[in-house]
Structure 1
Amino acid sequence: MKDSVCAELVKSRNAALDLPRITLQDDLIPNQEGGAGGTYYFQYGKSNSFIYECRGISTYYKVINGEEWGTRPDCSGKVNYFMDLWKMEEVKYGTFDEAGNVIFSASKSFSAGTKDFISEIPGEQ
């Protein structure tokens, strides 16, 4: 049963990343140079919202019916991250605890252009 829950989280997270993203303000100017890709943060056990951080800018996305105005994400508890290092054809991923300490980390290779790079986090339910 746990494996099917983890597989559904992976499937649902990859689907969320593939949805169109709407921004209601002008694009911000990055405050960091370069970078091989961004990092996606999902709340532990969740798949309907994420934060994407790239070059010093963090953007919050939530899969919802209707609209959301000014609601901040709830980032309490553990947080999973998926760092897209597309130039290196690699994704680094893991889990931070409530204090920001890494409690799990791993990496895997994937071909450039592959959409489904989210991986299972062991023990996540």
Structure 2
Amino acid sequence: MAKMTRRALIGAGGVLLAGAAIYGTGLVGCRFVDRNVPDFFAAVDPLEGVDPEILRTVGIAVVAAYPRYSLPEYAHAKLAGKTHTAAAMQSTCPVERLARFQAQCCQDFDDDKFVVVEGWIISETEAALCAHFVA
């Protein structure tokens, strides 16, 4: 067994400390990088600022792939049953509503609650939002 010297111990501690510092810096740096938030859909206030025809087109694709979204009560339950969207639906502030919809879209992806529609991966919240424009 090799003898542990003070120099080796200090060197190992330095390497561990440097590794921890690099890891911590990476975590802090990641806070400033935009997440892949689906702003195209989430930037709806509810649904101001986005061409309704685009939302309708995506909604038709959602309903074709997942027919249950064609039921207004199903799509509404998908939105009202989630913490952030339920709060967004009650809010009158466009900025808060947008932030809540975006937070819910992120939460959906974190919880693996998404659907695949014509090669697009969209959150359940986005799918329900677009399905409202089909009727």
TM-score tier, shorter chain, comes to under 0.3
Q: TM-score normalised to the size of structure 2?
A: 0.25
Structure with bigger strand share is 1
Q: TM-score normalised to the size of structure 1?
A: 0.26
> Structure with the greater relative contact order (CA < 8 A, sep ≥ 6): 1 or 2?
2
Greater Rg over alpha carbons, structure: 2
